[in-house]
Amino acid sequence: MSRLGDLIRTERIRQKLTTKQVARKCGVSESYLEAVEAGTRIIADDQARRILKTIGLKQQTEAEFTLDDIAATVDLAQVQPRLVQAVAAKPAPKAAVRVASTEEKDEGVAGSVWLDALQSVLKRVPVMNAVMKPVSYKLEPVENGRIEGANPDKVFYYLVPDDSMRGFRICRGDIVLTVPAQSPVDGAVMLLNYREHRYLRKIRILDDHSVLLQSYDREYEAETAQMSDIGFLSRAVRVTYELT
């Protein structure tokens, strides 16, 4: 199945609608819709959005996932078993077929089985600037309830504000995925507060009380600092950069 085709099928089943009913509501043939769901026919994104909106799923949900995010990122083959289990666990409605009212559709898809499954495999992670304000978001996969082994709510991207770490292949404008770390990790690049400023620095532990803060712009630099003077915030685990 294609991702969009699988998403259409998932939402159609959640709404207890047949392919014939959805095809009639959307002005397409039943055979066309069946081919789209099976992944044997390509469907344009805008047409998929119209079908999903007709079924009851909006482009922008309360969880702020767009259909483009879903189609481009989610491996629905992995999500599908969770959806099947969730649907099977739900009590059947009294009526065989129930079409949501206009008012219900306008409320979006709060409580959707699809969103419940989606939010268990994806997390909208903020990209924070130098003053720790979110400037954008990126979707990250959640594995066993964790992102890179950390609580998903504690993970964030840091937008690199300068070139002080470019010798370590971290340049201005790159975004660095970080996980919580309140103590120094030897050899790691860490985000820290030091002398009323926030820095990315590579750490070398010297002894029980001091560390070496390493940077590398045009030249390599290193400063010895007392651990007690540093506020360790997080550890960098991945760098993402834009190709220009």
Mean pLDDT, 10 residues at a time, the chain of 244 residues: 72 85 89 85 76 70 48 48 50 44 39 52 89 91 88 95 94 95 95 95 96 95 96 95 66
- Ranges in the chain annotated CATH 1.10.260.40: 3-122
Contact 176, 200 (CB under 8 A): yes
Per the DSSP assignment, residues forming a β-bridge with 239 are: 176
- What's the pLDDT at 73? 45
pLDDT at residue 58, rounded to an integer: 56
143-240 has which fold?
A: Umud Fragment, subunit A (2.10.109)
Helix (H) or strand (E) holding 82: helix 76-89
Task: Kindly report the number of other CB atoms within 10 A of residue 35's CB atom.
Answer: 15
- Comparing CA positions, the residue from 140, 139, 178 lying closest to residue 157 is 178
Q: What is the pLDDT of residue 176?
A: 96
Q: 75-84 as b/e, with b when 16 or more CB fall inside 10 Å?
A: ebeebeebbe
Chain length of the chain = 244
8 A C-beta contact, residue 190 and residue 211: no
pLDDT in tens, 172-194: 999 999 999 999 999 999 999 99
Model confidence over 67-106: pLDDT tens digits? Answer: 555 554 444 445 455 545 544 554 544 444 444 443 343 3
Cα 155–157–162 angle (5° rounding)? 145
pLDDT for 116 equals: 52
Q: Which two tokens stand for residue 137?
A: 């978001």
Tokens of 203: 């750490």
Query: Which pLDDT score is estimated for 106?
Result: 37
pTM for the structure as a whole: 0.57
pLDDT of res. 42: 75
Contact 33, 22 (CB under 8 A): yes
Domain with CATH 2.10.109.10 in the chain: 143-240
* CATH architecture for the domain at 3-122: Orthogonal Bundle (1.10)
